[in-house]
């Protein structure tokens, strides 16, 4: 609507959340400006673990998240369950490796290389998240029932 009224493409548009990242004033006429603001996003979760669990499963769209940070958190979470899962899936040695090094290794194994032999970390992160969501890494429980002590 803003682009139609201003007769130019001043406001970015898209059919997914997160296209508009901040407030942007668009001049329509000399005396009229319209404000383009981000749409409605997920609320802040009081418990970060709940938000992460939803993001890991894809319930929160990747377009509004930093998939690289999310993948690093997923590696940490999977390693809490069993570091053998990632080792088995990707054929990498997990011993004494940080989450960053693990994703770097996954990227190298999967050919996610860019100019200079560097790993395309975003692509490697996308692969990890996608394979987790498809259950290819294993059956992993994100939440356990509270013990009834």
Average pLDDT over residues 77-106: 91
Q: Per-residue pLDDT for 143 more than 60?
A: yes
Return the HEC string of the chain.
CHHHHHCCCCCCCCCCCCCCCCCEEEEEECCEEEEECCCCCCCCCCCHHHHHHHHHHCCCCHHHCCHHHHHHHHHHHHHHHCCHHHHHHHCCCCCCCCHHHHHHHHHHHCCCEEHHHEECHHHHHHHHHHHHHCCCCCCCCCCCCCCCC
Q: Per-residue pLDDT for 110 more than 90?
A: yes
- Judge contact between 72 and 44, C-beta under 8 A: no
Domain borders along the chain are 2-36, 48-133
CATH topology of domain 48-133: Conserved Hypothetical Protein Ylqf; Chain: A; domain 2 (1.10.1580)
- Interaxial angle between packed helices 67-81 and 48-57, expressed in degrees from 0 to 180 and rounded to the nearest 10: 100
Q: Does 116 or 149 have the greater pLDDT score?
A: 116
Report field, pTM of the whole predicted structure over 0.85: no
Average pLDDT over residues 90-95: 90
How far is it, in rounded angstroms, from Cα 134 to Cα 4? 41
């Amino acid at each position: 609507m803003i682009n139609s009224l201003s007769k130019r493409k001043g406001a970015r548009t898209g059919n997914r959340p997160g296209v508009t990242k901040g407030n942007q004033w668009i001049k329509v006429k000399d005396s009229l400006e319209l404000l383009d603001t981000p749409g409605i996003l997920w609320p802040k979760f009081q418990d970060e673990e709940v938000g992460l669990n939803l993001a890991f499963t894809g319930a929160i769209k990747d377009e509004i998240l930093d998939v690289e940070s999310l993948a690093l958190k997923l590696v940490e979470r999977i390693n809490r369950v069993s570091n053998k899962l990632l080792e088995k899936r990707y054929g990498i040695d997990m011993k004494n490796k940080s989450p960053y090094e693990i994703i770097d290794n996954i990227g190298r194994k999967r050919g996610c290389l860019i100019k200079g032999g560097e790993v395309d970390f975003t692509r490697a992160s996308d692969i990890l998240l996608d394979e987790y969501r498809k259950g290819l890494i294993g059956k992993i429980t994100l939440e356990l029932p509270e013990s009834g002590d």
